[in-house]
Amino acid sequence: MTTKTSKTPIVLPPRAVWASDLREAQLAGCAAVAALRVAPMIVNGREGSYFVEGGVCGFARVEVRPRNTAWAKWLREACGWYSSDYHKCVTLNIHEFGQSLQRKEVYASAFADFLTSKGYPGVSSVSVID
C-alpha cells in the first residue's frame, strides 16, 4: 500500500473556487495518465500465457482528512464522495482506467498533488495492488 499525504497546513481557498479546482484536479489526473507508459504484464498459467496491457491490477483512491471540515462535507454532499467511518476521511475511489493499478495510481497521485499545490490540506492518494 502506498500513501502520499500533505503535511503543511495551508489556508483553504474560498468555497466558490472548490468546484473549479476539483475539475482542474481531474484534468491534471487525466493528463498524467495520458503521459504514462504502462508496463504491461504477462501472466503464465497452466493453459498458457496471456498479455495484460494495463499492467498489474489494483485500486487507487483520493482521501481528504479530516472528514468534518467544510471542504470534506462539500465533497461528500455536492460531489458524492464516500465518507469512510473506518478510515476517518472522505474518499474518491478511482473507477476509470479498468483494473490498471499504474493508471489509477498516477491519476490519484496527480489529482492529490494538484489539490495540495492549490492549498487544500489533508489530501492524499492511496493505492493497493489487487
Provide long-range contacts, Cβ within 8 A and 24+ apart, for 31-36: 31/110, 32/106, 32/107, 32/109, 32/110, 33/97, 33/103, 33/106, 33/107, 33/110, 36/102, 36/103, 36/106
The SS3 call for residue 78 is helix
| pLDDT tens track for 7-54 | 555 566 677 789 999 999 999 999 999 999 998 888 888 888 888 888
Q: How many structural domains is the chain composed of? A: 1
> What was the pLDDT predicted at 114?
97
Give the pLDDT score at 96: 93
| pLDDT score at 50 | 83
When comparing pLDDT for 17 and 94, which is higher? 94
92 with 85: CB under 8 angstroms?
no
**pTM, whole model, 2 decimals?**
0.84
Q: Which domain holds residue 44?
A: 2-7+16-129
